[in-house]
Amino acid sequence: MAKATTSTNNIPLVMKAAQQSNFGEIRQVLTLSDDVIVPQKLSSHQILVRVHAASINHIDLKLLKGNLWPITRFSFPHIPGIDVAGV
């Protein structure tokens, strides 16, 4: 039997994503994965976007390096990114 690739509501089960493993230099802490689990249950203040393009801006760079650690509240692995385009 074939492995399911989408949920019952046609949301993919996995996605491609850049994942941050720790704070530091980008090449040391950022990896590209093809099998990141797509969140299926969202809270009332969250949305799920099918991203078509993404960029890294100066805030993302500071977050990756840990320069804004007092104001960040995420655990690793973390999917960075503030600027995206999608539906």
- Using CA atoms, how far residue 56 sits from 15, 18, 36, 71, 75, in Å, is 19, 11, 19, 19, 19
Classify residue 6: in a domain, yes or no: no
Better-predicted residue by pLDDT, 80 or 4: 80
Classify residue 32: in a domain, yes or no: yes
Classify residue 44: in a domain, yes or no: yes
pLDDT cut 70: percent of the chain above it: 91
Q: Which domain holds residue 71?
A: 14-86
Classify residue 46: in a domain, yes or no: yes
pLDDT of residue 37: 94
pLDDT-wise least confident of 18-22, 25-29, 68-72: 68-72
pTM of the model: 0.76
Strand 51-55 to 83-86 pairing? antiparallel
pLDDT of residue 33: 94
Number of domains in the chain: 1
Classify residue 76: in a domain, yes or no: yes
Confidence category of residue 4, pLDDT binned at 50, 70, 90: low
Classify residue 27: in a domain, yes or no: yes
